[in-house]
Amino acid sequence: MNLAAAANETMAHNSNMLVYSAMAVYTLAFLAHMAEWVFGSRSKVGRTAAALTAQAKAPATASARAGASGSAGTVVLERPKVISRSVPGSRDVPDGPGAAGGTEKGDLYGRIAISLTVLAWALHVGGVVTRALSVQRAPWGNMYEFSTTFAAVAVGAYLLLLVLKKNVRWIGLPLITSVLLDLGLAVSVLYTASDQLVPALHSYWLWIHVSCAIISGAVLYLGAVATLLFLFRDRHEAKLADPTAKQPGTFATSVLERLPSAASLDKFAYRINATVFPLWTFTIIAGAIWAEAAWGRYWGWDPKEVWTFITWVAYAGYLHARATAGWKGRKAAWLGLIAFACYLFNYYGVNIFVTGLHSYAGV
């Protein structure tokens, strides 16, 4: 018995070391992603805007020189319209790779960043699996385990999209940044030593219900990142298209021009949220079935159940808004962010500040 306990303790220690090792490699990946953004190409809209600016400056300079030399004639400049949004009713988007590709140096750093991300993810998954072996159950019985698994699934979903040849390398930098923050919070604040669960949780529904919640949340997080970037990029494009508006600064322009167009980001976020919404619906159904088996009722308005339902309603409202003519673009984007904020509060706020039947695992 003591040998078994010692073996479990050793595996728990190894799990922690793997997670710390993953964080170290994620940090290197973060630096490589930063280098890609610095040396990578700008998006097509950004390159077009820069070219138009150069074209506008050339006639202005020629006009000034002509005026200085007393030449007759007047040069009239018209600001060309930068087309950055898809045509209404069209699925096409006029933008390309964003930060990914375009220059040899940018591609090199991008490939290094992805390679380091894969290595870090492998270490990360190894830490999650080793934790499961140390506790001999599903490795998401408390907030520490949920957080580490959540981050691993989010990175795994990102890498899967890359394997499927989806042009999403632009999400690498914000994703790795947030993964480092998540793991840092997990190991410093949320850490809980390996332990067994209360009897109510000893069920195969732990594998089904919580795994679906983790997968749903991780993929919805990718959609939330794209939605947030859409708001910044959409505002940037609106300023470019409006000659009377104050034009973006050098730093903002340098960053935002390395993102895909607002139309690309909006479409990506919508597709992600629409794809994973049925799984989130199943998560609620599976939780209700598990609740009936554990507590003798399908639904009891426990705080966790309430906020899970609120999150479902928020995402249902977002998807409905996208199908309504007056709720496209920024309005729908804000609703999508509110929906993900409900998910975050359901995880952090309810678990830490609200007492209920789902408070059994502590932190």
User: 3-state SS string over 93-152?
Assistant: CCCCCCCCCCCHHHHHHHHHHHHHHHHHHHHHHHHHHHHHHHHCCCCCCCHHHHHHHHHH
Q: What is the dihedral of CA 306, 309, 310, 312, to 10 degrees?
A: 160
Tokens of 13: 């220690």
Low-confidence ranges of the chain (pLDDT < 50): 68, 71-84, 87, 91-101, 360-361
Q: What is the DSSP string of 3-66?
A: HHHHHHHHHHHHHHHHHHHHHHHHHHHHHHHHHHHHHSPPPHHHHHHHHHHHHHHHHHHHHHHH
Nearby residues of 196 by Cβ (< 8 Å), 6 or more positions away = 135, 137
The two structure tokens encoding residue 207? 């594998």
Q: What is the pLDDT of residues 223-239, one digit of tens each?
A: 999 999 999 988 888 88
Would you say 131 and 15 are in contact if contact means Cβ atoms under 8 Å apart? yes
What pLDDT score was predicted for residue 193?
Answer: 79
Which pLDDT score is estimated for 355? 65
How far is residue 49's CA from residue 190's CA, in Å, rounded to a whole number?
A: 46
The candidate with the shortest Cα–Cα distance to 219, out of 150, 284, 267, 173, is: 150
Burial of 311 (0-12, 13-18, 19+ CB in 10 A): buried
At which residue do the structure tokens 């610095």 appear?
A: 38
pLDDT of residue 100: 47
Residue 155 identity = V
DSSP 248: P
Neighbours of 1 (CB within 10 A): 5
pTM: 0.81
d(CA 10, CA 188): 20
Burial 40-70 (b: 16+ CB within 10 A, else e): bbbbbbbebbeeeeeeeeeeeeebeeeeeee
CA distance 148 to 163: 23
pLDDT of residue 10: 78
DSSP 298: S
CA atoms of 333 and 210, how far apart (whole Å): 27
Tell me the CA distances in angstroms from 301 to 122, 123, 290, 304, 356, one per residue in order. Answer: 39, 39, 14, 8, 10
N-to-C CA span, the chain: 27
